[in-house]
Amino acid sequence: MSEWLERLRSLVRTQDRAPDTAQSRRVEAALLDRSLFPSEAARLERVTAALADEAVDARTLELLVAALKTPGFYAEVSDAEAAAHLAFWRRLVDRQPGDPIVAAHLADIEMALGDPAAAMARFVEVFDRKPDLFFEFGWDLEEDARALGGDVLFRWQLHLLRWFLQAAADHLESGDEAREIYGELLDEYREDPDRLAALRPLGEEIHRLEVAGDLPRAMVVRRRRTT
């Protein structure tokens, strides 16, 4: 993983938390110890009621993620608990269909609970709507994208290339990774004129940045990516 990505992830982790709200205080109270509820579904129903009819605000989302998406949690849930969690996050997406962040969290949970096809389809739709979410959610999805192939894989690859291209333009990374990924995609889709046409604008952007001197080369040769 490149050094700039580690720096950016560290920046995200250390951001100041959002301020408390009336909604977040209600939800925090509802997110009591799981043992106090007869089932996970009952606990999540209590949380849903605490949300009321309001859109999920930033602080409330932080609480939900901290309480419901702890590392390794979904490896331990039963089928009934998994269904309850999926239903909960799907309700959030249904009530906020224009919010790509909530949709990204649902996709993350779908992936964790064993539905990679649904998760990847949702992820690429989210990245199309809000490309900067690729930084937080998209980096570890190459194997899943390749397993599905087709349009989902190609759209994921476009976002990967755009991210390295933007990182190079912002001088957070040399341009070598963007050039390498672009070359690999040209080779991978050399028999597909529609996808080559979709790649062309990114190739033109690489050329424009090179001419402007904004796409430097690294002093060392990178290890070639595996596919």
Q: What does the pLDDT read at residue 183?
A: 96
Q: How far apart are CA 93 and CA 126, in angstroms?
A: 12
Q: What does the pLDDT read at residue 15?
A: 55
Q: What does the pLDDT read at residue 218?
A: 53
3-state helix, strand, coil in the chain (%, to 5): 70, 0, 30
**Backbone torsions φ then ψ of 170, nearest 5 degrees:** -90, 5
- Please tell me whether residue 208 adopts helix, strand or coil conformation: helix
Q: Give 149's contacts (C-beta < 8 A, 6+ positions apart).
A: none
Token code pair at residue 118: 């649904």
Task: Return the domain boundaries, the chain.
Answer: 149-227
Q: Give 36's contacts (C-beta < 8 A, 6+ positions apart).
A: 43
pLDDT in tens, the chain (227 residues): 444 344 444 434 445 688 999 999 999 999 988 889 999 999 999 999 999 999 999 999 999 999 999 888 888 889 999 999 999 999 999 999 999 999 999 999 999 998 999 999 999 999 999 999 998 999 889 999 999 999 999 999 999 999 988 888 777 666 888 899 999 999 999 999 999 999 999 999 998 888 777 676 653 334 334 34
Beta carbons of 214 and 169 less than 8 angstroms apart:
yes
Q: What does the pLDDT read at residue 40?
A: 92
Q: What does the pLDDT read at residue 196?
A: 97
CA-nearest of 121, 37, 114 to 82 is 114
Q: What does the pLDDT read at residue 42?
A: 95
Q: How far apart are CA 184 and CA 121, in angstroms?
A: 23
Verdict on whether the full-model pTM lies above 0.85 = no
Q: What does the pLDDT read at residue 75?
A: 81
CA-nearest of 205, 114, 90 to 158 is 205
